[in-house]
Amino acid sequence: MSDTNHLLIPYAACTAEGCRQALQTLALPNLNKLLARLAPHPAQSDSGEETSFSPPHERALARALGLPFEDGRIPWAAWHRRATDGAWAFVTPCQWQVSTDHVTLRDPQALGLDEAASRALLAIVAPWFAEDGIALHYDQPTRWLASGALFVGLATASLERVLLRDVRAWMPDARQARTLHRLHSEMQMLLYTHAFNDERAARGLPVINSFWVHGAGALPALTDATPPQMPTTLRDAALREDWSAWAQAWQALDAGPVADLLQSRAPVQLTLCGERNTLAFHTAPRSLTQRIQSLFRPQRLLDLHKQL
């Protein structure tokens, strides 16, 4: 447990040109005031790459929850299930759109899957997974749970990383995940002419021809850490590349959760995440030099953009 008010903000900034342009005119007075009061928190900051399997906010959240945060090996499925009985993973049914030079994963939320259709699809593919020692369990329409020894130590890319991108750059290592690579091929062949997809196509719905595995691993132990507040409005807008909505979401955060943090009398922590890195700030004594710098060279999101 923690007495610190912790606000963790995914996609606070990113490398897209639209984001850079939005930052030029984005006014965030409460954030600027908060950054002027807080000290850097190097122990809770980290650096990575845009090609890392786990985005920075997932690594930061895992650290806050006391979970393993090695790249691609954060056991989100096991944590979601609160299971310490082996390795688990999320499996998201999806559509891979194949062209001459790309295999793009379309947004699963655009598939129009409801619970009945998801359970019907699960019943179709589950026996194939079971032959390889993978048990599938329904969780929600666009996400199932899977358990099996295959997921022990398996590095998988977050669904956010591969969304609307070429899947080939984000596949798990073929030597360790040969079974998954084969299952991908088998599912595409199985579903290509299956009546399930024929019925969907007749209703004008996108066909489902593949799946994505993410959040794999085993949970070493249950933790009682309090999750930080983590709004997803910036993330949602950034993944759609809607930079007008992203700027509006930032203004709403500045007027809401950021303003609340500014008024808090308890110790606070602010964690800003981009596509590569995490910058953390917290309530702590600051040196005279830091106080002077905050007066004459205040930190702003625009200044921090390149560090995220």
Last residue of a domain, one of 196, 218, 240: 218
Last residue of a domain, one of 155, 186, 218: 218
Q: Tell whether 189 and 234 lie within a shared domain.
A: no
pTM for the structure as a whole: 0.91
Q: Tell whether 54 and 27 lie within a shared domain.
A: yes
CB neighbours (10 Å) of residue 186?
A: 15
Does any domain span residue 135? yes
Structure-derived torsion over alpha carbons of residues 271, 273, 276, 278, reported in degrees to the nearest 10: 0
Q: Tell whether 62 and 90 lie within a shared domain.
A: no
Q: Tell whether 82 and 212 lie within a shared domain.
A: yes
What's the chain's length in residues? 308
Q: Are strands 268-273 and 39-40 parallel, antiparallel or unpaired?
A: unpaired
Q: Tokens 């908060």 appear where?
A: 34
The sign of the CA dihedral 64, 70, 74, 79 is: negative
φ and ψ of 130, to 5 deg: -60, -35
Q: Tell whether 101 and 54 lie within a shared domain.
A: no
Last residue of a domain, one of 184, 218, 252: 218
Q: Tell whether 192 and 258 lie within a shared domain.
A: no
Buried b (16+ CB within 10 A) or exposed e, 211-227: bbbbbbbbbeeeeeeee
176-197 average pLDDT score: 94
Q: Tell whether 85 and 49 lie within a shared domain.
A: no
Does any domain span residue 276? yes
Q: Tell whether 181 and 239 lie within a shared domain.
A: no
What is the domain extent for residue 149?
76-218
157-174 average pLDDT score: 94
Is 42 exposed, middle or buried, given 0-12, 13-18 or 19+ CB atoms closer than 10 A?
exposed
What is the chain's alpha carbon radius of gyration, rounded to the nearest angstrom? 21
Does any domain span residue 250? yes
State the Cα angle at 41 between 36 and 47, rounded to 5°: 115
Determine the pLDDT at residue 291.
55
Q: Tell whether 114 and 232 lie within a shared domain.
A: no
Does any domain span residue 165? yes
Q: Tell whether 228 and 211 lie within a shared domain.
A: no
Q: Tokens 């004459």 appear where?
A: 296
The predicted-structure confidence for 79-101, as pLDDT tens digits, reads as follows: 999 988 899 999 999 999 988 88
Does any domain span residue 259? yes
Query: How many domains does the chain fold into?
Result: 2
Percent of the chain as helix, strand, coil, to the nearest 5: 45, 20, 40
Q: Tell whether 21 and 129 lie within a shared domain.
A: no
Q: Tell whether 37 and 94 lie within a shared domain.
A: no
Cα distance between residue 283 and residue 202, in whole Å: 58
The predicted-structure confidence for 227-246, as pLDDT tens digits, reads as follows: 999 999 999 999 999 999 99
Does any domain span residue 181? yes
Does any domain span residue 71? no
Confidence of residue 199 (pLDDT cuts 50, 70, 90): very high
Does any domain span residue 110? yes
